[in-house]
Amino acid sequence: MEAPSTQQNSLYAIIIYMDAIITLDIGGTNTRCAVFHTEQDDPVLIDRTATTTENEIAIERIAQIIEKNWPKDRQVLGIAAAAPGSVDVVQNKIILAPNVPGWKDYPLGDLLAQRFGVKVLVNNDARMAAVGEWKRGAGRGHNDIVYFTVSTGLGGGVITGGQILHGALGIATELGHIVLQDDGPACGCGKFGHFEAFSSGTGIHNYVSQKIKEGSPTALKSPSPNTKEIAEAAMVGDALALEAFNRAGYYLGIGVANYLHIFNPSCVIFGGGVSQSGDLIFKPFRESLEKHVLSPTYLANLKIALAELGDNAGLIGTYEYIKQNL
């Protein structure tokens, strides 16, 4: 950038440098809030508050954290929120958020816009994390990306031809909710045999709990161990725990092969807690992927990477998203 050469240019620079954007990442446990100065890529502050499942209080909490962090010396151009569940991105309305029971057809965008008098956009949290990784993380420079977040559930987002995949209403890329096995285990959504029911943390947990109930030998003490406990047991060679990760990785390979055939991405990214399990899940995943892919061409120039932005992917992705749509 050239140095300002006249007083007028300096003044102009000061004016454009006074904008800010506020982004939110509403999670099951915490709601995080970031303030960005539009001349910078990284947030100037990140704050958090507890998410509550009570409808009225939830919106008050969100409004409070925005008010608390509202920049005094800058013009706020807009607020963008990443929310869990199905989001109607045309109306900026939460259709259904499994972790916030009161939020059914909930007009979060309109409520915040009325309160703060600025443009508000609401989008799905996994999709916003995908945008973050695309613009600033492991997907930089790629136009065709499939991003998976493998944690309690299994969600994701897709960039295709340099464009964010939304679908007609914004409820596309429910990547965890495709049937891989019709007579498979129950999914959190109430259906059966979904990708999420096999390869998410909940899928691993449910499988181990069921096997313990059936009397499978294991060093695990709890009758209902969490994913972290199962990973630790697998690390020291517990057969049941290893079997659970092998199974999750095997289905992860099937699911990802499906998505290579559907999207032919040049980059696949894994975020979320379960994807921190290393070879435990990625060794069986790679074997299964190679077995299930239609042709080696899909793998030839494919980057497979872990997410780089960690917890901030959603806050950063939401910032990049609203910048594109102001």
Phi, psi angles (nearest 5°) of residue 162: 75, 20
To a second copy, the closest distance from the beta carbon of 211 in angstroms equals 19
Interface ranges with a second copy (CB under 8 A):
86, 95-96, 142-144, 160-161, 163-175, 177-182, 189, 191, 254, 257-258, 261-266, 292, 294-295, 297-298, 301
- Closest to 177 in 3D by CA, of 198, 163, 160: 198
To a second copy, the closest distance from the beta carbon of 188 in angstroms equals 11
**Nearer CB in complex with a second copy: 36/148:** 148
To a second copy, the closest distance from the beta carbon of 21 in angstroms equals 23
Contact 95, 104 (CB under 8 A): yes
Tell me the Ramachandran region of residue 63: left when phi exceeds 0, alpha when psi lies from -120 to 50, beta otherwise. Answer: alpha
Contact 145, 265 (CB under 8 A): yes
- Closest to 267 in 3D by CA, of 175, 176, 144: 144
Cα gap 122→126, rounded to integer Å: 12
> Residue 154 in 3-state DSSP?
strand
To a second copy, the closest distance from the beta carbon of 39 in angstroms equals 29
Phi, psi angles (nearest 5°) of residue 203: -60, -45
The token pair that represents 267 in the structure block = 């980059």
To a second copy, the closest distance from the beta carbon of 82 in angstroms equals 18
- Closest to 320 in 3D by CA, of 157, 135, 45: 135
Tell me the Ramachandran region of residue 255: left when phi exceeds 0, alpha when psi lies from -120 to 50, beta otherwise. Answer: alpha
**Nearer CB in complex with a second copy: 64/264:** 264
Letter string b/e over residues 22-55, b meaning 16 or more CB atoms within 10 A of that residue's CB: bbbbbbeeebbbbbbbbeeeebeebeeeebbeee
To a second copy, the closest distance from the beta carbon of 6 in angstroms equals 42
- Closest to 321 in 3D by CA, of 173, 108, 88, 122: 122
**Nearer CB in complex with a second copy: 161/237:** 161
To a second copy, the closest distance from the beta carbon of 178 in angstroms equals 4
**Nearer CB in complex with a second copy: 213/261:** 261
To a second copy, the closest distance from the beta carbon of 306 in angstroms equals 20
